Amino acid sequence: MDCITAIRNRASVRQFTPQKVSHELLMQLVDAGRRAPSGRNVQPIEFVVVTDAEIREQLAELCDYGKFLRQSPACIVVYSKDVKYFLEDGSAAVENILLAATALGLGACWIAGDKKPYASEIDKILGAPEGYRLIATIAVGYAAEPVRQKEKRPLEQVLHWQRFTQR
């Protein structure tokens, strides 16, 4: 699947089949994440892949909007060193993973991290070293239902030329 098609088809998936995601596919997702740009090429991002059901259950219990982690066969937790552009760098990595998942025929969903009250508990469970910030937990698996992107605002409503114009 080409990049533009993946962008047009990407949608959040919260229901998964029990089919496991291969080690090779998970490695491809992390590889896509690590290739994201970072401010001044600092490359502060680290990834924790979780396939253990017990650990995913603990994470699901903490995440107020991530209970579906229980049924996802894997998740990728994205961390960043606490650098100036940690959130931008981490978000770029997350988006690369989400698009790669779509291109590889997988479903995925981004669960917020850094600003959530449970971030420090996830850090403890995963053994995150001091000086790292939780960017997101990404549920990964095969979609249980057909995936459709939600309606997006038309291009004409969001595009401005030369200056921001009021509509």
Q: What is the pLDDT of residues 7-54, one digit of tens each?
A: 999 999 999 999 999 999 999 999 999 999 999 999 999 999 999 999
Tell me, yes or no, whether 166 lies in a domain. Answer: no
Tell me, yes or no, whether 167 lies in a domain. Answer: no
Token pair belonging to 133: 């910030």
pLDDT at 164: 94
pLDDT at 134: 98
pLDDT at 166: 80
Tell me, yes or no, whether 9 lies in a domain. Answer: yes
- What's the domain range around 61? 3-158
Q: pTM of the entire structure?
A: 0.97
pLDDT at 165: 85
pLDDT at 62: 97
**What's the whole-number mean pLDDT along residues 121-148?**
97
Reply yes or no on whether the pLDDT at 89 is more than 90. Answer: yes
Tell me, yes or no, whether 103 lies in a domain. Answer: yes
Q: What is the pLDDT of residues 100-120, one digit of tens each?
A: 999 999 999 999 999 999 999
CATH number at residue 63: 3.40.109.10
Cβ-in-10-Å burial (0-12, 13-18, 19+) of 45 comes to buried
**Are 27 and 33 spatial neighbours (Cβ–Cβ below 8 Å)?**
no
Tell me, yes or no, whether 164 lies in a domain. Answer: no
**Are 108 and 81 spatial neighbours (Cβ–Cβ below 8 Å)?**
no
Q: Mean pLDDT score of the chain, rounded to an integer?
A: 97
Total domain count, the chain: 1
Tell me, yes or no, whether 118 lies in a domain. Answer: yes
pLDDT at 167: 72
Tell me, yes or no, whether 128 lies in a domain. Answer: yes
Could you give the residue ranges of the DSSP H alpha helices within 22-106?
A: 23-34, 53-62, 86-103
